[in-house]
A and B are shown apart, each in its own frame.
Chain A
């Protein structure tokens, strides 16, 4: 029964991961990361259900908080670099290499 949710979370995680790999826009990339975090949340909740304890639910809350904090930091960084480069493409930021 819970397997469906797990499969879904796995799918979401995979989608997020692929998204990070294929999308150029920093914001979108970042959103894909958030998607992965949420996939995790789904998994936590599912397992909480499976194991019949609430830890998973609680963890999900923690994760949301952390994700929120991450958003703040992330947007700040992305905005700064956007202001400098007038582009939010992660591929433009490739001075550091080799």
Chain B
């Protein structure tokens, strides 16, 4: 444990950066400043991670101050392994997104520096939401986050942007407000005069109350994740948002939902969670298959990617609620990997669309011939989307399915069909856009330029490295997940055959 308030520093830097950027007059300068700030945050986050001791206390870098005593609300932040990797994910994605959306904001003829300021504000809130160990503080970030994203979609998005933005906001707000009631009730039922997460664990004992509160939280998270059938805001939002915002939306914001399920739904209401598990698993499985099938039928690249994410979130929720160490760790790792893989997928798609000016698959063809690098990046991103072994997503998907099978064989088997469907939607999209004779509309297409390579390269590197060597992340995640499962009071099922230690 160190006395340095790392998390506050991280947030503070982003917020101050945002302020500074919004006051800059020169757009170019604003961009560079944003990039600088986000890189600084990344460096700080990495340093913080290095100092994190996986097998030390569960929550580290803790800071706790009274915020609103009469509500029992604290400014309390700390990270365990799960939160840490997600914060790291955000810290990695933001600078990349900044670099990727260098010119995005200009299309709308809208204020460029506002866009980048919003990015930084969003980063601060993303860090905050994962770091918050006070349920109320978490809720505050959970809701407040919507606003910058809402403006990013609404002001800088595509033709349907305001529809998408409003849909996104209201959908989330609806869930959030239901959660608010649950939050209040939780406070009263627990009767601890405190919103601190550790105080609230095991505070709700009455089964009926647990179920109601669980629902209040779960619905909000299910909408956020999004879980079938409350997913329809995502395709619109993701398709309309500028590529960068889409990355943060699908890559990080949605993770708040799955993270919330793992952290709050399970730990605060373990019995209710077990009670709800069959339904949740069923919804997840439906989500996996359904999302994949609908993705196959999409004609719009970004929508397609959005639906693949719905399928992937099915895997994550399944892993979370399977409540085995392997599955839960896999799910957590999945959150990170999915952030990277969908991130690069959206970004490369963004480059593609930026060049051609159309989101429709039908407008492309034979791009590989004219822009091999672009195509290659797109292929690798796609392959990580279908979780090819050797790429990070495989590890997490494998763990989720493996762990789920231990307890729920049939859902796991059905979920595994997603592996086949994934191959279809990714490769078919790739074939239609990149292969075959070059369409004259793309004949002049430029290949990736320097900036874009710098955007794609780090992500792909990460995906490959983590694909072969996920241990560092898992070593951080596993203890945290084990702790949570202890609070949920579940133990992994033992193998049927007792294996005498071989060799």
Q: Are chains A and B touching directly in their complex (CB below 8 angstroms)?
A: no
